[in-house]
Structure 1
Amino acid sequence: MASAPAPAAGAGAGGGKDDELADLVRRLVDAVARYADRLPFDLDRQKLRSLTTLAAISVTLLFAWKMLRAPQEQPRRPRRRAAPSSSNTSSRSRPGALTTTDACSSADSRAHEALTLEQLVRHKLSEGRRVTCRLLGVILEETTPEEIQNHVSVRTSVVEVLLGIAKFCDVYLMERVLDDESEEKVLSALSEAGLFASGALIKEKVLFCSTENGRTSFVRQLEPDWHIDTSPEIVHQLARFIKYQLHISPQRPERIASNVFSSPSLEQYFGGLDQR
């Protein structure tokens, strides 16, 4: 009988494996033949050798087929580690955290410019719904009650910001005055600046008092989410009672409390630069 055909080249991993399989088949056939010699009856050795060879080849081909079907292990790709964020992880939950420090990148600056004023106001005020704000030094150019006895002028740069706050916040303006004429002048100046035109701000929510303690009393009664003031004494007194405060000061003062922020002006606080 013709010798058994060797397995195809693809059935093994290489020439060495083919030789090993062929040797295994020969050894298996010889072992079966030797075992047949010990049997108490005669067997046709040639037929036995043929059947054994065929069975061995079948097993070999099956083994080779399984080897070819086995998926090769792919090299693992290293996981990319996320780069550490340069911003404070807790900044999202704090007022004013939308903006960065003065050393912010140009990309961050462009992102801030793309935000609308309303988005900046909402984020800076942490979705606060009630705001109280003094007039002198914040909304008005004048800084003392004596000055507004003669003249009252509204800061043109603050009008848009104040109206933006009033779109979604309940805003109360307040100030200490020395006489009734000063009240009329303040209301007239606010009206001429267009602050009452949209209806977001109303005259009835402009409050006047004769003492600084009166302004403090107004704030505590209204219980706002934010109070905006220029007086460090009043800001300090209210720090325990008001959730957040914005201290308007030309110079950067020491931080009074963790819930008190500072800025040179109201409009600059909402202008995309963090002035805390």
Structure 2
Amino acid sequence: MPRTCKNGQECRKYKAYENVDDKHVSIIQPILLVGMIFVFYIFYFRLFKRRYASNESYRRKMNKKNISSKPVISLCLNDIVIRIIGNNAHIMENSVEPLNKLSSISELFVIAQISNDVQEKNIIDLFKKLGLFDKGLKEHRLMFCNTSNGRASMIRQLSPLTHVDNDETVIKTLTGKIPNLVQIYENINTSDHANFFTSLQAFTQVICAVATVEGIN
């Protein structure tokens, strides 16, 4: 039988409860349940967020490590890799293979000194035609300047481990600012402030030997 209230009427509102305590328990339970869900959500969200941030930090560290695992080398292209005649750029003999090898064992940046936009476009087209951007050299690392002073400024900002050039003025300007300076020069006269090689091929052979010893692929 349904319970009756003090006034003798059926207490339909509370007919499901056996006593007053049951009423309080039934109200508290859903509140506790919602509270537990809320606490669990906050805990899980913050934990997930911390783990995600940690993973992102780890990935950034790994990316930096991967980038710095190879030495940064900068190279002047003029009269070492290419020769500019008028607005046309021509690849120099025995320079493609050494350039590809340098691209594979280092973070290579190359700089061409030009006098107009047509020369810039022709150099880019030449590199694409030779497939140099498909063999290790990154297109955004092909840079251009208009003067030797401009090239020296770009190299200083880049701060490579080694810079290779054939302009003795640039070599002297960078002396004391770049750790290693290499001059490619065909005659006997060399700067006292730079290593001397007669060709890019000769320099690359030495660098490849060092890379093999260091385990750089």
- Whether 2:207 is the aligned partner of 1:250: answer no
**Structure 1 residue aligned with 2:53:** none
Q: Following the alignment from structure 1 to structure 2, what is the Cα–Cα distance between the partners of residues 247 and 161?
A: 15
Q: Equivalences for 1:15-34 in 2 at 5 Å?
A: none
Mark the CA change 1:243 to 1:187 in structure 2 (over 3 Å): closer, same or farther: same
Residue pair 2:79, 2:92 contacting (<8 A) in 1 also: no
Q: Which SS does the other structure have where 1:269 is aligned?
A: helix
Amino acid at match of 1:233: T
Instruction: Indicate the structure (1 or 2) with the bigger Cα radius of gyration.
Output: 1
TM-score (norm 2): 0.59
**Structure 1 residue aligned with 2:165:** 229
**Structure 2 residue aligned with 1:134:** 76
Amino acid at match of 1:161: P
**Structure richer in strand, relative to its length:** 2
Q: Equivalences for 1:1-276 in 2 at 5 Å?
A: 129-142=71-84, 147-149=85-87, 151-198=88-135, 200-257=136-193, 260-271=194-205
Mark the CA change 1:179 to 1:255 in structure 2 (over 3 Å): closer, same or farther: closer
**Structure 2 residue aligned with 1:104:** none
TM-score (norm 1): 0.47
Q: Following the alignment from structure 1 to structure 2, what is the Cα–Cα distance between the partners of residues 156 and 196?
A: 19
Residue pair 2:70, 2:107 contacting (<8 A) in 1 also: no
Q: Following the alignment from structure 2 to structure 1, what is the Cα–Cα distance between the partners of residues 113 and 83?
A: 15
Q: Which SS does the other structure have where 2:192 is aligned?
A: coil
Q: Following the alignment from structure 2 to structure 1, what is the Cα–Cα distance between the partners of residues 109 and 190?
A: 27
Mark the CA change 1:148 to 1:203 in structure 2 (over 3 Å): closer, same or farther: farther
Residue pair 2:102, 2:204 contacting (<8 A) in 1 also: no
Mark the CA change 1:171 to 1:270 in structure 2 (over 3 Å): closer, same or farther: closer
Q: Which SS does the other structure have where 2:187 is aligned?
A: coil
Q: Following the alignment from structure 1 to structure 2, what is the Cα–Cα distance between the partners of residues 238 and 130?
A: 16
Report the identity percentage.
Answer: 20
Residue 148 of structure 1: how far off its partner (Å): 4.6
Residue 176 of structure 1: how far off its partner (Å): 1.8
Q: Following the alignment from structure 2 to structure 1, what is the Cα–Cα distance between the partners of residues 148 and 183?
A: 16
Deviations 1:120-164 (A, max 9, x none): xxxxxxx9600111111111134xxxx251x21112411111111
Q: CA RMSD in A?
A: 1.8
Residue 270 of structure 1: how far off its partner (Å): 3.4
Q: Following the alignment from structure 1 to structure 2, what is the Cα–Cα distance between the partners of residues 234 and 187?
A: 24
**Structure richer in helix, relative to its length:** 2
Q: Which SS does the other structure have where 1:270 is aligned?
A: helix
Q: Which runs of 5+ in 2 are unaligned?
A: 1-68, 207-217
Q: Which runs of 5+ in 1 are unaligned?
A: 1-126
Q: How many residues align?
A: 138
